[in-house]
Amino acid sequence: MAITLEELPIRDDLRGAVPYGAPQPHVRVALNVNENTHPVPREVADDILAEIDAALRTINRYPDREFTALRASLAAYLGHGLEAAHLWAANGSNEIIQQLLQAFGGPGRSVLGFPPTYSMHSIIAAGTGTAWIAGARDAEFAITAATAVRHIDEHHPDLVFFCGPNNPTGTPLDLETVEAAYDATTGIVMVDEAYAEFMPHGQRTALDLLPGRERLVVSRTMSKAFAFAGARVGYLAADPAVIDALRLVRLPYHLSSLTQAAAVAALRHAPIMLSMVDDIVAQRDRMVRELRAMGYTPHQTWSNFVLFGGVADPQATFASLLAKDIIVRDLGIPGHLRVSAGTAAETTAFLDAMREISRSQPPVRVVA
| Percent of the chain predicted with pLDDT > 70 | 98
Nearest residue to 134 (alpha-carbon basis) of 126, 247, 27, 29: 126
Q: Could you state, in order of their start, the residue ranges of all structural domains in the chain? A: 23-40+272-360, 42-268
For 231, residues 6+ apart whose C-beta sits below 8 A from its C-beta are 222, 223, 259, 262, 263, 266
* Residue 145 Cα distances to 129, 149, 178, 183, angstroms: 28, 6, 7, 11
Predicted local distance difference test score (pLDDT) of residue 156 = 98
CATH code for 23-40+272-360? 3.90.1150.10
Predicted local distance difference test score (pLDDT) of residue 3 = 87
Predicted local distance difference test score (pLDDT) of residue 111 = 98
* Residue 1 Cα distances to 4, 91, angstroms: 10, 36
Query: Stretch 47-67: mean pLDDT, rounded?
Result: 97
pLDDT of 91 over the 70 cut: yes
Determine whether domain 42-268 maps to CATH 3.40.640.10: yes
Half-sphere exposure of 208 (CA within 13 A, CB side): 10
Alpha-carbon span 146 to 176, nearest angstrom = 10
Residue 19: which pLDDT band, with cuts at 50, 70 and 90? Answer: confident
Predicted local distance difference test score (pLDDT) of residue 171 = 98
Query: Stretch 71-92: mean pLDDT, rounded?
Result: 98
Q: What is the pLDDT of residues 242-271, one digit of tens each?
A: 999 999 999 999 999 999 999 999 999 999
pLDDT-wise least confident of 10-19, 38-47, 341-350:
10-19
Query: Which residue would you say has higher pLDDT here, 308 or 7?
Result: 308
How is the beta sheet containing 110-113 ordered, strand by strand? 87-90, 234-237, 216-221, 188-192, 159-163, 110-113, 131-134
pLDDT of 368 over the 50 cut: no
Q: What is the pLDDT of residues 322-334, one digit of tens each?
A: 999 999 999 999 9
Alpha-carbon span 125 to 139, nearest angstrom = 26
Cβ atoms of residues 207 and 192 within 8 Å:
no
Nearest residue to 312 (alpha-carbon basis) of 281, 295, 335: 335
User: pTM for the complete prediction?
Assistant: 0.94
For the chain, what is the total number of helices (H) and then of strands (E)?
A: 11, 12
Q: What is the pLDDT of residues 294-305, one digit of tens each?
A: 999 999 999 999
Residue 25: which pLDDT band, with cuts at 50, 70 and 90? Answer: confident
